[in-house]
Amino acid sequence: MANVYAKKVGGTWFGVVFDGVRVSATTFGSTEKGVMQNLKESVQQYVPLQRLETPSTFAEHLVAVLKDIYDGKGFSEKFSFETGSLSNYARRVIEAVCLIPPGYVASYGGVAQAAGGSPRAVGHVMASNPFAPLCPCHRVVRSDFTLGGYGGGLDVKLAFLKRERRGYSSKKTVETKGGNIQLFPVESVMNRLEGKRHLPFRA
């Protein structure tokens, strides 16, 4: 039995599925119905779900973290994910993407270099990411700094990245179990979309 909780905060619905302190799925959206449907589709069909009318401390905390991410804030806490329904490859991709901090983006190809597979394979995992935005798939873009795809719509992805702008001017790398991922400031995406000349960021 897994617990389900949804709450509207600041005009946006946030939803979570969890068992104890292990997260099975997270999502957000404009309607409660849409959020609940997304949560049901993200968990294994044979897992019974119990709707919480009175939230637990963990449920409220998790929703608060989702709201912070939605607002462009960072968080340092590590959550335990229930990934039993995912392939080993999907787990590697999700673990890698979870390490991309606010203010930076990685390319699908960059993630693929660390997790294996191809940029297209990474895109497929991101399209079915059951932990958005806790696992920040909105921070994965094309190698030319255009947005690529996003289940919630490209306007939502762009809004996320705008809220996460930090004014960084340097590239950085993040170490994963499979290798390093090169990260670029969010400004790379904004410059590309605004038609500005690409500025070479410092290493």
Euclidean distance between CA atoms 12 and 60, whole angstroms = 15
**Integer angstrom CA distances of residue 46 from 1, 19, 133:** 10, 15, 24
Q: Which of 112, 137, 140, 186 is catalytic?
A: 137
Name, in order, each residue with C-beta under 8 angstroms of 99's C-beta and a sequence gap of 6 or more: 174, 175, 176, 181
From residue 144, how far is each of 40, 63, 188 by CA, in Å?
34, 33, 9
Distance CA 126, CA 3 (A): 24
Integer-rounded Cα Rg, in Å, for the chain is: 17
Residue listed under structure tokens 């990474």: 122
> How many Å apart are CA 49 and CA 33, to the nearest integer?
15
Q: What is the DSSP letter of 53?
A: S
Q: Give the distance between the most distant pair of CA atoms in the chain.
A: 53
Residue 135 among the catalytic residues:
no
Task: Round to whole Å and give the CA distance between 59 and 150.
Answer: 26
**Two tokens at 201?**
């960021």
Residues annotated as catalytic are: 137
